[in-house]
Amino acid sequence: MSLVHTPAVVLQTFRYSETSKVVRLATRDLGIQSAIAKGALRPRSRFGAGLELLSEGVAQLYYREQRELQTLAAFDIVDLRQGLARDVARFAGAAAHVEVMMRIAPPAPLPVAYDTLLAALDGVLGAATADVDAAATRGLWSLLSALGFAPSLRNCVRDGAPVAADGVPVAFSVAEGGAVCSSCAAAPPPPPAPATRLPPADYEALLALSAAAGPLPALDAAHAAAHRRLVARFVRYHVDDTRPLTALEFWERRAWAAAA
C-alpha cells in the first residue's frame, strides 16, 4: 500500500457509518476511485466541509491496486465550485457530467478526461445565463470525446466521405456514431436505428457544440432541447450499463422547469 497524492473531484458521497462516509472520486492519476473517509462526519473532522459534490482538491489516498475501496487520508480543497449549487440549471448540467464520468471512465489513469471534466464544469459555471444549456451540451460532447466516444461529424461514419449540409438536412446516426453523407443516407441498407435529420443550421450548431472552444451557438428553447435530447440519446446508446441515467434525464428534460 502506498500513499498517493492526486488532483481529484468529488463525484458522489454517501454515509458509511455514524462517523464516516464513502466518496467516489475522479482522480487525474488513478481514474475513478472509491474511498472511505474515516471520521468525515465528526464535528471536528479533518476533512471539514471539503467532501461535497463537485469539490475539487488534492486527495491523499492509501492506495492498493485491485482494492475496490481505498482509504482517504486527506482532501485539500482547491475549489468548492459553490456557484454551481446556486443555479438549478447549472447544477443539473454539472450533475449530468458527473454521472457520465462515473459510468464511462475506468479506474485507471485518464488525465485527458479528468482535465476535460474540469474544463466542462468551469464552462457551465462561467456561461452566461442564456448559454448554460449550450455550455453543458458542449461539455458533454467534449467529455464523451475524451472518453473515446467522439462522434464523426465532418466525415461520413460509414464510408469516410466529407459531410456537408449544402442546404439540405444531414443525417446523424446515434447507433453508428456520427453523421452520414447524403449518398449513404439514401442507399440501403438502413442504419441499425433511425437517423436524426438535422437541418443545416442545427448541423452547424452541432459542429460548434462539439468543438472544445469557440463561440457557443445561440439556441432558443426548442433548439436547446433538441440538442440536449441528441447528446442524451448518444450517451444512453453507447454506455454499456442498464442502470438509468437519472441526472442526465433530469438535465435533458429540464425537470425543474416543468415542475415550476
Determine the structural domain holding residue 108 and report its residue range: 86-150+198-259
CB burial of 188-216 (b: ≥16 within 10 Å; e: otherwise) equals eeebeeebbebeeebbebbbebbeeeeeb
C-alpha cell at 138: 458542449
Q: Is the pTM of this model over 0.85?
A: yes
Question: Facing residues of 74 across strands?
Answer: 60
Q: Compute how many other C-beta atoms are within 10 angstroms of the C-beta atom of residue 97.
A: 27
Q: Which helix (H) or strand (E) holds 79?
A: strand 69-79
Separation of alpha carbons 252 and 230, rounded Å? 9
Model confidence at 25: pLDDT above 70: yes
Q: Tell me: do 62 and 110 sit in the same domain.
A: no
Is residue 133 a part of any domain in this protein? yes
H-state helical runs in the chain: 88-104, 111-126, 132-146, 182-186, 200-210, 221-238, 246-253, 255-259
Is residue 190 a part of any domain in this protein? no
Is residue 58 a part of any domain in this protein? yes
Q: Which of 117, 154, 151 shows the shortest CA–CA distance to 233?
A: 151
Model confidence at 174: pLDDT above 80: yes
State residue 189's pLDDT score: 65
Give phi and psi for 163, each to the nearest 5.
-110, 130
Is residue 165 a part of any domain in this protein? no
| C-alpha distances out from residue 56 to 51, 59, 117, 140, 210, Å | 9, 9, 11, 19, 25
Three-class secondary structure assignment of 215-226: CCCCCCHHHHHH
Is residue 51 a part of any domain in this protein? yes
Span 107-141, pLDDT tens digits? 899 999 999 999 999 999 999 999 999 999 999 99
Model confidence at 259: pLDDT above 70: no
Contact 178, 152 (CB under 8 A): yes
Q: Tell me: do 59 and 92 sit in the same domain.
A: no
Mean pLDDT of the chain: 93
Is residue 123 a part of any domain in this protein? yes
State residue 23's pLDDT score: 97
Q: Which pLDDT band, with edges at 50, 70 and 90, does 157 fall under?
A: very high
Q: Tell me: do 212 and 245 sit in the same domain.
A: yes
